[in-house]
Amino acid sequence: MATIATQGPQPKKIATLTLRIGEESDPLSVLAEGRDPDLDGFVYLHSSNRKTATAEFNAPTADKRKRSFVITGRKPGSASILIWSSATRATVDLARIGVTVEDFKSADVDLFYVGKYLVWRRSLPPAGDADGFLVFDASSGTFPIASAQDQESSGPVPEGRYVFLAKFDPLQDTVEKANALLKEGDKPGKGPFGNFRQGIQRLPVGGNGPVNVQWGETRVRLEPQFKLPGKRTGGFYLHDSKKGYTSGCVEVRRNDTGLLFFDALVSYALSDRAKRRPNLVLQVIYRDKLTSTRGRTEEP
């Protein structure tokens, strides 16, 4: 039977793995042994509960005896991930690993940003009622690794607690109002981009030019509730550009059904739920200093 192991100078065999929702494992390897078939063909992946965890494989090594992959936690629960080779015609398990996906334990936090995903866990919009959570692709930083979070204008958003207003900014709640604000210029505190107002803001688009590629069409300001590290000075937002990187904000796009984050946020803002809880709490938490913050947010 093939072996699943960690990567690095001293690989360690593992049979179980624990993740949180939206967390990605460190790179793992499946190692063919003895009479195991080569790993150059399609590698079948089966989970006893596909909604609990998923895995993504890279190409095999040149000798076809090793293939790396990562596992992502998707939903609280347990699953057994089985790996088959096409050569076995799915009749023999090459390897298996037990995966436990844990829930977040902070009862007063609504959303969690964990590196490649933004997890909306509490105070949900109507779209989240069925599963009890929503998971969106997200990215942060031009140097997208957790260890760079103290680097100004290049590292990802720093770990800590943030609060944002889940209601529209009345001065910028339509594209037309955002376009009109362009006449103020873009100095600090001015215009549709330079202002410091809280709340959901529509951004200029249409008659005054194309969508701003750095920001996208909508944003909401994050207010840190802690002392920022290094030379970080704040000015963080959730926004819906689709570059695949940011200068320190969090770019948020879609979940696995295609739902856009800001469509979900607007539906929350317009519901009675926002009247009961207008300010939402976001916790940024990275698994370790090597956590990647480059999610699948780049779109044409």
Residues 97, 117, single domain; the answer is no
Q: What are phi and psi of 109, to 5 degrees?
A: -110, 135
pLDDT for 249 beyond 60: yes
Structure token pair of residue 142: 């031009």
Residues 132 and 266 both lie in one domain = yes
Half-sphere exposure of 107 (CA within 13 A, CB side): 0
For residue range 143-154, list pLDDT tens digits in order. 999 999 999 989
Together in a domain, 65 and 206: no
If asked whether residues 76 and 181 sit together in one domain, one would say no
Task: Say if residue 148 is in the same domain as residue 31.
Answer: no
- What is the pLDDT, as a whole number, of residue 208? 53
What's the confidence (pLDDT) of residue 51? 80
Q: Is residue 289 part of a domain?
A: no
37-52 pLDDT, tens digit each: 888 765 666 666 668 8
| The predicted structure's pLDDT at residue 40 | 77
Percent of the chain with pLDDT over 70: 93
Instruction: Check whether residue 90 and residue 197 sit in a common domain.
Output: no
Same domain, 183 and 274: yes
- What is the mean pLDDT of the segment spanning 247-261? 97
The answer as to whether 298 is a domain residue is no
Tokens 């998923």 correspond to what residue? 54
Q: What is the DSSP letter of 174?
A: S
How many structural domains comprise the chain?
Answer: 2
CA distances from 113 to 153, 277, 297 (A): 18, 20, 14
On whether both 158 and 83 belong to a single domain, the answer is no
Residue that finishes a domain, picked among 102, 136, 158: 102
Q: Is 86 inside a domain boundary?
A: yes
CB 28 within 8 A of CB 7: yes
Q: Measured between alpha carbons, how far is 143 from 215 in angstroms, rounded to an integer?
A: 18
Residue 159 structure tokens = 């770990």
Using DSSP bridges, classify how beta strands 77-85 and 95-102 pair: parallel, antiparallel or unpaired. Answer: antiparallel
Query: Long-range CB contacts (< 8 A, 24+ apart) of 177-181?
Result: 177/202, 178/202, 178/203, 178/204, 178/205, 179/204, 179/205, 179/206, 179/207, 179/208
The reply to whether 292 falls in a domain is: no
Q: Which domain holds residue 97?
A: 3-102
My answer on whether 71 and 152 are in the same domain is no
Q: Establish if 242 belongs to a structural domain.
A: yes
Does residue 28 carry a pLDDT above 70? yes
Same domain, 119 and 238: yes
Q: Are residues 27 and 124 in the same domain?
A: no
- pLDDT for 204 equals 93
Q: What is the pTM of this model?
A: 0.93
3-state secondary structure of 269: helix
Q: What's the pLDDT score for residue 138?
A: 99
Q: Which residues contact 123 (CB under 8 A, 6 or more apart)?
A: 110, 268, 273, 277, 280
pLDDT attached to residue 8:
87
φ, ψ of residue 57 to 5 degrees: the values are -100, 145
On whether both 61 and 151 belong to a single domain, the answer is no
What confidence tens digit (pLDDT) does each residue in 181-239 have?
A: 999 988 899 999 999 999 999 999 865 567 899 999 999 999 999 999 999 999 999 99
Percent of the chain with pLDDT over 90: 78
Provide the terminal-to-terminal Cα distance of the chain, rounded to the nearest Å: 43
- Which pLDDT does position 85 carry in this prediction? 74
Mean confidence (pLDDT) of the chain: 92
Residue 216 forms part of a structural domain: yes
> What are the pLDDT digits (tens) for 117-130?
999 999 999 999 99
Q: Flag whether pLDDT at 91 surpasses 90.
A: no
More confident residue, 274 or 211: 274
- Residue 16's CATH number: 2.60.40.10
